[in-house]
Structure 1
Amino acid sequence: MRFLVAQSDPSLGAFLIRGLEADGHEVILAGDGETAVDTFLRETPDLTILDLNLPRRDGADVLSFLRSVTEDAPILILTARSELETRVKCLDMGADDFMPKPFSLLELRARCRALLRRRRDINLLMRQGDLELNRVERTVSRAGVQVALTNKEFALLEYLMLHRGRAVSRSTLLEQVWNMQGMSSTNIVDVYVNYLRRKLDGESDVSLIRTIRGEGYAIGITHSI
């Protein structure tokens, strides 16, 4: 899942990135309100963690703008302003949750999971045949049997599932899953596809992840090489 963290304190921003990335999420940091708005419109994050004390554009104004754009994207307010009036105002403006500072990272992560579970989004639980991928709980099962994946294996499978029925090129996977560009000489995509095949396919002669000649890899396409 892609998270946007709007936080002007670089140290706290780095702390949040480390904590949320440990759950396998992609985290984008915006250090001011204007950047937060631009990033939200460009990246369409699955969840936004928003501070109210932002330079260039106040967090309350950012909240109001984001809610004018979409009603569904979860927004969690994380702020040092703990007054009841501020909390009520933010919730009335459309915030989905409110956490005052100081805060527990463990609780923040749990609240993020709860917000994601409440989303009316069919892509939070994805299925292809007997494969099931839960983007909130970050679990994968095939034929009802849990499959343990590393964070990077999960991210690769998640991206292929989000684009199931279409071939995804190696260069796109390098950019979207590994944040690598211009690295055509690396075989890391092929290596991780093989890891997934060993874990997902078992003794089956037919692989869930297909190789499409001249195009890349795909799930949900019947022809392969």
Structure 2
Amino acid sequence: MRILIVEDEPGIANFLKQGLEEESFAVDIAEKGHQGLELALSGEYDLLLLDWMIPGMSGIEICRQFRKTYKETPIIFLTAKDTVEETIFGLQTGANDYIKKPFHFDELLERIKVQLRPKSGEHYKFNLGNITLNTNTHQVFKNDEEIALTQKEFALLEYLMRNKGKVCRRTRIIESVWDIHFEYNTGVIDVYINALRKKLKLDKDENYIQTVRGVGYIAREV
């Protein structure tokens, strides 16, 4: 899951980024309103965290503009505003929730999880052959045996399984799983893919994670 933080206070923004990345989210930061809107409209984010008072363009205006294109993406306001009228105004603008500054990170994390909770009919379990991944419990099973994965291994497997049947390019994997947006040695992906194959004990008949030479990887049923 990828989150955009639009916040002009570097201390708050970096604190949130670190905490959310420890929870396996990919996070981008924008310190100015116009930059935040431009990033938001790229359509690459699963949730927006908007500071109400942001230089150049307020969080309210970002929310208004964003909602013209994206109706469903959750938006949470980070705000010092605390009157009932201001809260109602923010929600009427298109926000899904708000949290008042100062706030506890754990509370914000739970609010984020509520907004990202699968809706009725959406999946939180993904299957790949005899492998099952559960995003709610953060567990992976092969048949009835639980497979212990690191956070990055889990995030990589989740990305591949969410895109089952599609070729996942190296650049997209490194951006989505490692949150890196510049030229980078993508050889680290090969290391993690090999680790996944070993931990999942994939034999010749279980070639669920396949290499697409010169491009990336694809997860598909054998």
Alignment TM class, shorter chain as reference: 0.7 to 0.9
Name the CA distance, whole Å, in 2 between partners of 1:122 and 1:188: 31
**What is the one-letter code of the residue matched to 1:52?**
W
Give the AA of the match of 2:3. Answer: F
AA aligned opposite 1:167: V
* Contact 2:3 2:45 survives alignment (8 Å): yes
Task: Label 1:7 to 1:217 Cα distance change in 2 as closer, same or farther (>3 A).
Answer: same
The aligned counterpart of 1:40 is 40
Amino acid at match of 1:156: L
Q: Where does 1:35-184 land on structure 2 (aligned, <5 Å)?
A: 35-119=35-119, 122=122, 124-135=124-135, 137-170=137-170, 172-178=172-178, 179=180, 182-183=183-184
- 1:62 CA drift (Å): 1.1
Residue aligning to 1:194: 194
Structure 2 counterpart of 1:50, one-letter code: L
**Match of 2:57, SS?**
coil
CA distance in 2, matches of 1:152, 1:189: 10
Counterpart of 2:151 in structure 1: which amino acid? N
Normalised by the length of structure 1, the TM-score is 0.85
Q: Which runs of 5+ in 1 are unaligned?
A: none
Q: Work out the percentage of aligned pairs sharing the same amino acid.
A: 34
Aligned pair in 2 of structure 1 residues 116, 190: CA closer, same or farther (>3 Å)? same
Distance 1:146 1:111, change over 3 A: farther
Structure 1 equivalent of residue 31 of structure 2: 31
Q: In structure 2, list runs of 5 or more residues that go unmatched.
A: none
| SS of the residue 2:112 aligns to | helix
**2: CA distance, partners of 1:13 / 1:49:** 10
How far off is 1:154 after superposition?
1.9
Preserved contact between residue 26 and residue 176 of structure 2 (Cα < 8 Å): no
Q: Secondary structure at the residue paired with 1:19?
A: helix
CA shift in 2, pair 1:217/1:131, >3 Å: same
**More off after superposition, 191-200 vs 167-176:** 167-176
Q: Deviations over 1:42-82 (max 9, x none)?
A: 24300111110111111111111222222210111111111
- Which structure has more RCO (C-alpha within 8 Å, separation ≥ 6)? 2
How many residues in Structure 1 have an aligned counterpart in Structure 2?
Answer: 221
Shift of 1:187: 3.6
| 8 Å CA contact retained: 1:4, 1:30 | yes
Name whichever of 42-51 and 212-221 sits farther off.
Answer: 212-221
| Deviation per residue, 1:19-41 (Å, 9 max, x gap) | 10010110010112111110011
